[in-house]
């Protein structure tokens, strides 16, 4: 698609001026912004930024949740030839210093008082910041810092400028080229400083349109934008594809109202990482455990039918008449009401990505009639590399290469990608750019995998994370930590897992329980507890987690390649892993190496065969204070199984 984001905006405004472009829920009421309204808003913001001195090719940071006026500001910056840089709104102030300095940012737009405070806190370390604009004025009336002003004031100044220069905006938009830089996204920085991934209008829009063609997306789609705009996954779905297709993006009122807003909007096109689908399923299971006997029995009977025939029906495969009748009855009694309760009653296409999804979790959603599929991509590939066709969705693959993508597998098992959606470069980092982009245009993904006989891509793990067991009965066996972690995380009682084993004679795991699910489980058994740490160390909870681990071990025993990855020992951590404590990335991926170092005393205790270990850990609270949590953790053995030999 050889155009730019602002040019697409003007096209929609000209062709469909009164059609809804964005909706925002404010004070419980959905407010609609038409394409004409949006184009006018972008024009005024762009004029205001131009008067304030934002220059072509300059970076502008945007921090906040999905808000129409934040989207408009990104479009306004692009209209001037400037480059929006979205940052995570839940990042602590110190995490913003490197991106702001690396990109030499003078202009910032932030959502509210919380984000203003963060920018003011680090202003001394980022002296080049000249202007900080805020969208939500609540709590900011008495702030008088230099360069701080409201977005309303910026819009008013821009409106006056446009009145004096009526043709200025369109002339600015016309100057842009598809090969100009459109945006920069910072990686999560799991192994050091984050890297700025530079994308052009052409790379982002090429992948957005390829994905839209694959799933036959139209302007009639409804999308709920609730994940961080700084994550390229959300940005592609609610910004790039939004402008490519012209569908409606709905912005929830707040993080706490997302589940309610999901039901009200009834999206037709939905995207979420596996953890969101895990959380939704956990809430369903908690409610069913609290339901009466008749309702629970009906649910279990209908779900047994769904699990047996639901995926086949989704894939258009033949199903017996009796099973079709049973499934239709189940749809009336259970699946339909359940889809409605989850907010998925209108979903035509749902995607999950970011990490592997558990096969049982994947099957659950497809079995109740939700067209859940997997995709494969990354920040550097503008997301869309492989997608699953409607009738070929499988839990163990991430789909087939889509239009404009070539894939090959290196000798070490690494996936290499060639596509029109590849990054232009890592900003100010030619060494890192040269490491991932070959001279002939192949991108090194760092993922290990292979193409199966049907042309579907299978991902095993990160190349650097795939290891070997050393010593003992499984000497030389492959160890894929993420594979083990994801199998355990399917269980609703387990929220997070860190698997260890590379270069060791056995696999051990550290587990985070899901506090809501296990808390509900404990309350139904009249098991008292005083907070997360106390609940996590209950003998009954350890027995519950042991059952989950041993079920995974039994499953692994049937996998000839990964039977040696069975878990021998485990412990339940005394605190939840947290991005603010450096244990997770801002996209909630486990920083395995950091955790292994931080909890080295626990790792040593697991492999030394100890039955308990004291630990004290520093934590950061939401208000910025630090404290510590200490506990004596139990360490427990689990049963492993003899590998099952399957027929060739």
C-beta separation of 100 from 74 below 8 A: no
* Whether the model pTM is above 0.85: no
Contact 60, 85 (CB under 8 A): yes
CB 245 within 8 A of CB 15: no
Please tell me the distance from the alpha carbon of residue 512 to that of residue 398, in angstroms, as a whole number. Answer: 27
Identify any residues that bridge with 425 across adjacent strands, giving them in sequence order.
198
**Which residues sit opposite 426 in a β-bridge?**
197
CA–CA dist 469, 474 (Å, integer): 6
**Which parts of 288-348 are beta strand (E)?**
none
Tokens of 337: 């009401």
Distance CA 378, CA 195 (A): 13
Gap between the Cα atoms of 109 and 79, Å rounded: 16
502: three-class secondary structure by DSSP: coil
List phi, psi (to 5°) of 249. Answer: -105, 130
Distance CA 21, CA 33 (A): 6
Residues 6+ apart with CB under 8 A from 64: 70, 89, 109, 110, 111, 112, 115, 135, 229
CA distances from 491 to 147, 236, 361, 495, 568 (A): 50, 30, 9, 8, 18
* CB burial of residue 169 (10 Å; 0-12, 13-18, 19+): buried
Question: Does CATH number 3.40.50.12780 belong to domain 5-197+226-268?
Answer: yes
CATH entry, 467-637, from 3.30.300.30, 3.40.50.300, 3.90.1150.10, 3.40.50.970? 3.30.300.30
DSSP β-ladder status, 425-426 and 443-451: unpaired
Question: How far is CA 136 from its chain centroid?
Answer: 25
Q: What is the pLDDT of residues 468-492, one digit of tens each?
A: 889 888 888 888 888 888 889 878 8
Say what the alpha-carbon torsion angle 358, 592, 548, 513 is, to the nearest 10 degrees.
-100
- Separation of alpha carbons 390 and 631, rounded Å: 49
Return d(Cα 111, Cα 107) in angstroms, integer: 14
Q: What is the pLDDT of residue 559?
A: 79
CB-based contacts of 373: which residues, under 8 Å, 6+ apart?
349, 350, 351, 352, 387, 388, 390, 393, 399
Instruction: Give residue 279's pLDDT.
Output: 84
Look at residue 119 in the predicted model and tell me its pLDDT. Answer: 96
Domain 274-462 has CATH 1.10.1660.10: no
- H helix intervals, 344-490: 359-367, 430-436, 481-489
Region(s) of the chain under CATH 3.30.300.30: 467-637
Q: Are 151 and 45 contacting, i.e. CB atoms less than 8 angstroms apart?
A: yes
- Residue among 43, 282, 69 nearest 160 (CA): 43
453 alpha-carbon distance from chain centroid: 29
Token duo for residue 593: 């190496």
Token pair recorded at residue 546: 């042991």
Tell me, what's the pLDDT at 213? 97
User: Other CB atoms closer than 10 Å to residue 419's CB: what's the count?
Assistant: 25
Whether 196 contacts 22, CB under 8 Å: no
Provide the sign of the torsion angle of the four alpha carbons 604, 606, 609, 610, taken in this order: positive
* Residue 39, pLDDT score: 98
Low-confidence ranges of the chain (pLDDT < 70): 1, 189-191, 623, 645-648
Which two three-digit tokens encode residue 633?
């953790």
pLDDT value of residue 463? 84
Which segments of the chain belong to CATH 3.40.50.12780?
Answer: 5-197+226-268, 274-462
> Residue 648: its pLDDT value, please?
39
pLDDT, one tens digit per residue, over 30-74 is 999 999 999 999 999 999 999 999 999 999 999 999 999 999 999
Q: Is 424 left (phi over 0), alpha (psi -120 to 50) or beta?
A: alpha
């Amino acid at each position: 698609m050889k155009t730019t984001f602002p040019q697409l905006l003007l096209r929609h405004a000209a062709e469909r001026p009164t059609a809804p472009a964005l909706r925002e829920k404010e004070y419980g009421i959905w407010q609609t912004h038409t394409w004409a309204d949006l184009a006018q808003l972008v024009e005024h913001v762009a004029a205001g930024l131009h008067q304030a001195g934002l220059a072509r090719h300059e970076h502008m940071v945007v921090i906040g949740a999905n808000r129409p006026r934040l989207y408009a500001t990104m479009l306004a910056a692009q209209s001037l030839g400037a480059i929006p840089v979205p940052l995570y709104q839940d990042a602590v102030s110190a995490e913003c210093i490197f991106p702001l300095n690396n990109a030499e940012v003078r202009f910032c737009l932030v959502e509210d008082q919380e984000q203003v405070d963060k920018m003011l806190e680090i202003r001394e370390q980022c002296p080049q910041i000249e202007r900080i604009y805020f969208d939500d004025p609540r709590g900011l009336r008495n702030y008088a810092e230099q360069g701080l002003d409201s977005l309303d004031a910026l819009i008013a100044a821009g409106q006056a400028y446009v009145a004096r220069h009526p043709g200025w905006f369109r002339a600015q938009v016309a100057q842009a080229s598809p090969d100009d830089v459109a945006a920069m996204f910072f990686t999560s920085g799991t192994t050091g400083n984050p890297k700025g991934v530079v994308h052009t209008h052409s790379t982002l829009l090429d992948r957005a349109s390829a994905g839209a063609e694959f799933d036959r997306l139209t302007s009639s789609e409804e999308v709920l934008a609730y994940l961080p705009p700084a994550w390229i996954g959300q940005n592609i779905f609610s910004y790039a594809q939004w402008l490519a297709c012209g569908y409606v993006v709905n912005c929830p009122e707040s993080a706490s109202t997302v589940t309610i807003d999901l039901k009200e909007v009834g999206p037709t096109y939905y995207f979420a990482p596996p953890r969101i689908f895990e959380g939704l399923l956990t809430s369903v299971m908690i409610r069913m455990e609290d339901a009466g006997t008749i309702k629970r029995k009906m649910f279990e009977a209908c779900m047994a039918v769904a699990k047996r025939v639901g995926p086949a029906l989704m894939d258009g495969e033949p199903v017996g008449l009796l099973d079709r009748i049973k499934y239709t009855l189940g749809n009336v009694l259970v699946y339909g009401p359940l889809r409605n309760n989850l907010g998925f009653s209108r979903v035509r296409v749902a995607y999950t990505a970011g990490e592997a999804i558990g096969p049982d979790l994947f099957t659950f959603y497809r079995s109740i009639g939700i067209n859940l599929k997997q995709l494969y991509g990354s920040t550097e590939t503008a997301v869309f590399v492989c997608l699953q066709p409607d009738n070929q969705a499988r839990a163990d693959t991430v789909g087939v290469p889509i239009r404009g993508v070539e894939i090959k597998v290196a000798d070490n098992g690494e996936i290499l990608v060639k596509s029109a959606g590849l990054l232009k470069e890592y900003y100010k980092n030619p060494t890192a750019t040269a490491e991932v982009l070959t001279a002939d245009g192949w991108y090194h993904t760092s993922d290990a995998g292979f193409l199966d006989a049907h042309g579907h891509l299978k991902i095993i793990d990160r190349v650097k994370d795939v290891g070997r067991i050393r010593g003992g009965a499984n000497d030389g066996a492959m160890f894929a930590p993420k594979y083990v972690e994801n199998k355990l995380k399917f269980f609703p009682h387990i929220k997070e897992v860190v698997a260890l084993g590379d270069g060791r004679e056995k696999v051990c795991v550290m587990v985070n329980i899901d506090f809501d699910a296990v808390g509900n489980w404990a309350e139904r058994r009249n098991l008292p507890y005083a907070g997360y740490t106390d609940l996590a160390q209950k003998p009954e909870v350890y027995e519950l987690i042991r059952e989950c681990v041993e079920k995974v071990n039994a499953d692994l025993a049937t996998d000839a390649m990964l039977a040696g990855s069975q878990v021998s020992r485990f412990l339940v951590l005394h605190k939840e892993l947290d991005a603010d404590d450096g244990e997770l990335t801002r996209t909630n991926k486990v920083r395995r190496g950091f955790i292994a170092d931080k909890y080295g005393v626990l790792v040593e205790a697991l492999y030394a065969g100890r039955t308990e270990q004291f630990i004290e850990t520093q934590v950061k609270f939401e208000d910025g204070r630090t404290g510590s949590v200490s506990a004596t953790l139990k360490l427990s053995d689990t049963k492993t199984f003899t590998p099952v030999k399957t027929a060739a």
